[in-house]
Amino acid sequence: MKATVPTEPRRGSRRQPEASRYAILQAALVEFAQEGLAGARMDRIAVSAGVNKALLYYYFHDKERLYGEVLDRFFAQLRQRVMAVCDQPGTAGERFLSYARTHFDSIAESPYYAHIFMGELMSASRGGSVHLDRIVENYVLDIGSRVLALVQEGVDSGEFRPVDAAQFVPSAIGSIVHYFLTAPLRRKFLHEDTSTEQAIQERRVAVLDFIAAALFKDREAGIALAARVAAQPTTAPRDPAAPRKRDKRRRPSPLAPPAPQQEQPPIQAIDPAADKPQPQTGYKWINRWFPDVETARKVLAEESRRPRKRKPPKPPTKPGDERGPK
């Protein structure tokens, strides 16, 4: 009988929950951004994610819960990133510009979120939704209060102009988000590709420059600081929902020659007679040593073919016979 080789479980099975959930969330993000909650279809999400529709319901139960998970995924990571830059060492100006860049980069990494959240804000005029209430309570209030306090800190220290923090922060956020909300219009009517790395970098520089020019008391120093913050290398954090890469390294076969390694000094073995370390060369497999690879291959192959000896069963003892069988 020919031995079968185990294959990697496919993404659309419950044997790969992280990969399946991540694919569903990615596909749902695009679907909700383009069609909204009411127009989104679970069957289209399943097809885009490459999973069975039943598996989609197994993980997320219904469309409302899937929509909520998509929103939570973005805002939980945004809150974590904003709090980290607001609490890092530095002046209020350095930290606020770092916040503005972090907020900009978070949307640039997936601009679909801006469209989804804008739809949620528009739902407030119709009475709101359970998702909007939860997002504001769990994430937006924490982010907003921390950023407002940061602006007020800069005003109190004299680094910022005496602006009203409650008015300035919405203006700063508007300059960050507006680019991504209007990107479809510019692509359609001005034929601009707003998603290229160069376009994103140019807009990042312009946003930070605009904020610094309006906020800092020393305008020129603020603009120079904004240019330095914008020029810092971009490193996107790992998405918590993304599956972790498995370590596919395997233990080398005992019958395969060892992989080439860097030259190392010979192993020192103790000679019992001379009681002095002597150089030892050869090939070591786990806790066994062989003089060379060919010998190791032959010995291990022969041992694998050798039948194992089984011990004969012991005869049963008679009752009352303390000495056992003769």
Q: Please indicate, yes or no, if residue 264 is contained in any of the structural domains.
A: no
pLDDT at residue 7 above 50?
A: no
Nearest to 195 by CA among 209, 180, 178, 173: 180
The answer on 89 and 225 residing in a single domain is yes
* Stretch 96-124: mean pLDDT: 88
Q: Please indicate, yes or no, if residue 248 is contained in any of the structural domains.
A: no
Residue 128 pLDDT class (50, 70, 90 cuts): low
* Stretch 288-309: mean pLDDT: 63
Q: Between the CA atoms of 34, 40, 46 and 52, what dihedral angle is there, to the nearest 10 degrees?
A: 180
What domain range is 17 assigned to?
A: 11-61
- How many domains does the chain contain in total? 3
The answer on 167 and 147 residing in a single domain is yes
Between helix 63-86 and helix 141-157 the angle, nearest 10°, is 20
pLDDT at residue 233 above 70?
A: yes
For the chain, give me the number of helices (H) and strands (E)? 13, 4
Backbone phi and psi for residue 182, each to the nearest 5 degrees, phi listed first? -95, 5
Q: pLDDT tens, 164-212? A: 999 999 999 999 999 988 888 888 888 888 889 999 999 999 999 999 9
pLDDT at residue 31 above 90?
A: yes
For residue 124, the model assigns a pLDDT of: 72
Instruction: Report pTM.
Output: 0.66
For residue 237, the model assigns a pLDDT of: 59
The answer on 296 and 221 residing in a single domain is no
The answer on 38 and 154 residing in a single domain is no
Residue 144 pLDDT class (50, 70, 90 cuts): very high
Decide the pairing of beta strands 276-280 and 267-271: antiparallel
Q: Is 25 exposed, middle or buried (0-12, 13-18, 19+ CB in 10 A)?
A: buried
For residue 298, the model assigns a pLDDT of: 63
Q: Over the chain, what is the mean pLDDT?
A: 79
* Stretch 228-246: mean pLDDT: 69
Sign of the C-alpha dihedral computed for residues 228, 234, 238 and 240 taken in this order = positive
Taking the C-alpha atoms of residue 226 and residue 155, their distance in angstroms, rounded to an integer, is 17
For residue 266, the model assigns a pLDDT of: 44
Assign 268 to helix, strand or coil: strand
Q: Please indicate, yes or no, if residue 147 is contained in any of the structural domains.
A: yes
Residue 244 pLDDT class (50, 70, 90 cuts): low
